[in-house]
Amino acid sequence: MTDWLHLVLLIALVVVALDLARLRDLFAAAMLTGFFSLLCAVYYTIVDAVDVAFTEAAVGAGLSTVLMLGALSLLDERVETGRVRNRIGALSAALAVAAMMLYATPDMPAYGDPTSPVNQPDRPAWRYVHQSGKEIGVPNIVTSVLASYRGYDTLGETNVIFTAGLAVYALLAGVRRKRGQDAE
Amino acid sequence: MKYEVTAIALVVALLLALMRAVRGPTTFDRILAVNAMGTIAVLLIAVSGFLTGRPDWLDLALIYALLNFIGTLAVLKFIRYRNLGLDGGLERRHQEEMFPWKPPR
CA distance B4 to chain A (A): 9
Domain count, chain A: 2
User: Quick check: is A87 in a domain?
Assistant: no
> How many domains would you assign to chain B?
1
Domain contains B55:
yes
Same domain for A65 and A11, yes or no, is: yes
> A9 to chain B nearest CA, in Å?
9
The mean pLDDT value for A157-179 works out to: 84
Contact B18 A2 (CB under 8 A): no
pLDDT tens digits, one per residue of B11-32:
899 888 888 888 878 878 888 8
Pick A58's closest partner by Cβ from B27, B31, B67. Answer: B67
**Hey, what amino acid is at B45?**
I
Instruction: Please check whether residue B60 is in contact with residue A45, taking contact to mean a CB–CB distance below 8 angstroms.
Output: yes
Read off the CATH number of the domain in which B48 is found: 1.10.287
* Residue A184, domain member (yes or no): no
Q: Among A6, A102, A101, A4, which residue's Cα sits nearest to residue A45?
A: A6
Distance between CA atoms of residues B33 and B28, nearest Å:
8
In a domain, B103, yes or no: no
**Res. A172: pLDDT tops 90:** no
The boundaries of the domain holding residue A130 are: 116-178
Could you give the CA distance from residue A144 to residue A128 in angstroms, rounded to a whole number?
8
In this predicted structure, the answer to whether residue A80 has a pLDDT above a threshold of 60 is no
What tens-digit pLDDT sequence spans chain B (105 residues)?
788 888 888 889 988 888 888 887 887 888 888 888 888 888 888 888 888 777 777 887 888 888 777 777 778 877 777 666 665 556 666 666 666 666 665
Q: Is residue A92 included in any domain, yes or no?
A: no
Examine the domain organization and report whether A74 and A120 are in the same domain: no
Cα A6 to chain centroid distance, Å, stands at 19
Same domain, A74 and A137: no
Nearest-CB residue to B85 (from A12, A42, A70): A70
A74, A131: one domain: no
| Res A159: pLDDT | 95
| A41 alpha carbon, distance to own chain's centre | 9
Q: Give the Cβ contact number of residue B60 at 10 Å.
A: 20
**Surface of A (49-78) touching B: CB under 8 A:** 50, 53-54, 57-58, 61-63, 65-66, 69-70, 72-73, 77
Domain that residue B21 falls in: 2-98
- Coarse DSSP helix, strand, coil percentages of chain A, rounded to the nearest 5 percent: 80, 0, 20
Instruction: Examine residue B78 and state whether it is found in any structural domain, yes or no.
Output: yes
Question: Packing angle between helix B27-51 and helix B57-81, nearest 10 degrees?
Answer: 170
Question: What pLDDT sits at residue B89?
Answer: 59
User: By the 8 A CB rule, do B30 and A28 touch?
Assistant: yes
| Residues across chain A | 184
* Chain A hits for B80, Cβ within 8 Å: none
Domain C-terminal end among A78, A107, A136: A78
The residue of chain A nearest to residue B56, with distances taken between CA atoms, is A139
Q: Is the CB of B24 less than 8 angstroms away from the CB of A5?
A: no
- Scanning B18-47 for CB atoms below 8 A from A yields 18, 21-22, 24, 27, 30-31, 33-34, 37-38, 41, 44-45
| A72 and A21 inside one domain | yes
Chain A nearest CA to B95, separation (Å): 19
Quote the minimal CA–CA distance from A179 to chain B in Å: 13
H helices present in A76-150, as ranges: 87-104, 124-135, 141-144
ipTM, 2 decimals?
0.74
Q: What is the pLDDT of residues A93-141, one digit of tens each?
A: 989 999 999 999 888 888 777 888 777 888 878 888 888 878 888 777 8
Distance (Å) of CA A80 to CA A16, A148, A159, A177, B21: 19, 47, 38, 28, 18
Residue A45, domain member (yes or no) = yes
